[in-house]
Amino acid sequence: MTMLKAKTRLAMAAAMLAIPLGGALAMKDGGTLKIYHRGTPPSGSIHEEATNSTVSPYMGVFNNLVMFDQQVAQNSLESIVPDLATDWSWDESKTKLTFNLRSGVNWHDGKPFTAADVVCTWKQLLGDVPRKMKLRKNPRKSWYWNLKGVEASGDNQVSFALGQPQPAFLALLASGYSPVYPCHVDPKTMRTNPVGTGPFKFVELKQNEHVKFVKNENYWKPGKPHLDAIDWTIIRSRSTRVLAFIAGEFDMTYNTDVTVPLRKDVLQQKPDAICPLVPTNVSTNLIVNRDAPPFNDERIRRAMGLSLDRQAFVDIISEGNNFIGGAMLPPPGGVWGLPPEELATTQGYGDVAANREKARELMKQAGFGPDNRVKVTVSTRNIAIYRDPAVILIDHLKEIYIDAELKVIETSNWHATVAKKDYQVGLNLTGVGVDDPDVNFFENYACGSQRNYTGYCNKELQTLFEKQSSMADQEARKKLVWQIDQKLQEDVARPIIYHGNNATCWQPYVKGYVSMTNSVYNGWRLEDVWLDK
């Protein structure tokens, strides 16, 4: 196990080193990057989706105001670099963030980019636009709880007014999920034929076939992009697409599509493939319907949290490679997660046998025991990455007098089921767009948040969410984030079972790509990628 962890860290280090090594070679322009995609993206509008099926292929169509440096594997406040903004500054009260914008940038349709486009984009996200321009879906509304308004001063300056200081607001803007949209293009067109200022122009999406992009010849960054085109071929069958990568049909696999066992197969059959394992910042977690008896009894929820043997999950699912952590992705991949010594003192972690003993006591206090077992269904999405851990969960629940049956929900209906609270116990996966508590806490644990599936609401913690968000001292903030994270696990808000660790593989001649270690949503601009062939 220790050996495997060491290997994972080595692989991550290799991923971080990959670019400087590649960068030392003379870059070549031209060629088409061929990548496979796991399924048809639901649309081309990044702002309307919460899936890397959209953000991975379409990120290159757009620019942000700022972005995470595509050559730095770990996203953090320190790795934020200018994009459409040339620079930025905070006012005295730290509640007004002003960006100076580049001039001479054009949209793919030839119209000029101005500050008005930035204002439009964030007004759309705040829902402050006429119906025709309203986003059909707005999954990141919760990110902007603190945003009070956006104002342009002329064509090249824009200011964001915040309700309270929020240093990490910049991180939200740096995400692949935060592109600037053109004011003059309506949401429907953005879904089907997106227009951006980015290095690649959208050509066409054919359902079940491909998504194609070509180089933006008028890209404002000199010398970029290096590729002439990017072709994403949609292949639903994972076996087929991985075989196709092995056969050399593709230059790259889809974003973290290669699981630990698959990676072994790939490297066995194609030893020169580059396949660093990276934490995905997608957690597998337990959701409990707090309104459905007997789970409205806090003791039962706590007992369930205590029943988990996380190491068993990690060993079975990923041959020991996934990570155990709290709500925030643990180090070394993550910036904000609980370190091992803090994790060991967190309720529900540590000695499994002792935890389960406590859990059985709690169950007895709630009126259940060996002769009076609880019968439940564990619902989950009908995909292997959901089903497999759900089966292990059912086994663990047996230890505390809970007999569960697996109920698989058709994948496309999963969120509808969860939103309607049509489940008792569920096993869920949660991807975090930016490795920052301002995203994770407000999106998944804040009172009333759309994606707070369990309806967990702790007013005290809500105050702490806001407090940590306003802190300028990031080290002090981290300590508070750890406290919050521990409390979330203690409250069985959404017990985290493990954090995923998967690989993106590419052929050795693909240069300039860095697999990000703390988000699968931010590293697909691909403007630095080139082909050494």
Partner 1 sequence: MTSYIIRRLLLMALTLVGMSIIIFIMLRLVPGNIADILFDSAGFIDPQEKALLEEELGLHLPLWKQYWDWIYGLVQGDLGFSYVSELPTVDELGPRIPITAKLAGLSLFFAVLIGLPLGVISAVKQNTWADYVVRIISLSGLSLPSFWLGLLILTAFVAWAGYIPIYTSAPETWYDELALLITPAIAVGFRASAIIMRLTRSSMLEVMRQDYVRTARSKGASENVINYKHALRNAILPVTTIIGIEAAFLIGGLIVTETVFNIPGVARFLVEAIQWRDYPIVQNLVMLIALIVVVVNLMVDLLYAVLDPRIRYS
Classified as helix, coil or strand, 242 is: helix
| Rounded least distance, CB 170 to partner 1, Å | 23
Cis, peptide link before residue 179, omega less than 30° from 0: no
**Measured at the alpha carbon of residue 157, what is the angle toward residues 155 and 163, in degrees to the nearest 5?**
130
- When the beta carbons of 246 and 503 are compared against partner 1, the nearer one is 246
- When the beta carbons of 360 and 499 are compared against partner 1, the nearer one is 499
Q: What are residue 323's phi and psi, to 5 degrees? A: -115, 145
- When the beta carbons of 181 and 482 are compared against partner 1, the nearer one is 181
- When the beta carbons of 103 and 269 are compared against partner 1, the nearer one is 269
- When the beta carbons of 191 and 360 are compared against partner 1, the nearer one is 191
Q: How many helices (H) and strands (E) does the chain have?
A: 16, 17
| Rounded least distance, CB 131 to partner 1, Å | 8
Q: Give the whole-angstrom CA distance, residue 297 versus residue 229.
A: 56
- Closest by Cα among 342, 352, 359, 456 to 401: 359
Q: Are 75 and 518 in contact (CB under 8 A)?
A: yes
CA dihedral 409, 386, 513, 331 (to 10 degrees): 140
- When the beta carbons of 272 and 341 are compared against partner 1, the nearer one is 272
**Measured at the alpha carbon of residue 124, what is the angle toward residues 64 and 161, in degrees to the nearest 5?**
70
- When the beta carbons of 111 and 415 are compared against partner 1, the nearer one is 415
| Rounded least distance, CB 51 to partner 1, Å | 5
Give the pairing type, strands 374-381 and 425-431.
parallel
Q: Are 171 and 49 in contact (CB under 8 A)?
A: no
Q: Give the whole-angstrom CA distance, residue 143 versus residue 348.
A: 29
Q: What are residue 466's phi and psi, to 5 degrees? A: -70, -35
Q: Give the whole-angstrom CA distance, residue 396 versus residue 12.
A: 31
| Rounded least distance, CB 141 to partner 1, Å | 8
Q: Give the whole-angstrom CA distance, residue 433 versus residue 177.
A: 7
- When the beta carbons of 218 and 269 are compared against partner 1, the nearer one is 269
| Rounded least distance, CB 50 to partner 1, Å | 4
Q: Are 378 and 497 in contact (CB under 8 A)?
A: no
* Binding residues vs partner 1 (CB under 8 A): 34, 40, 42-43, 48-51, 53-54, 136-139, 188, 191-192, 205-210, 231, 233-237, 239-241, 243-244, 246-249, 269, 410-416, 419-420, 450-451
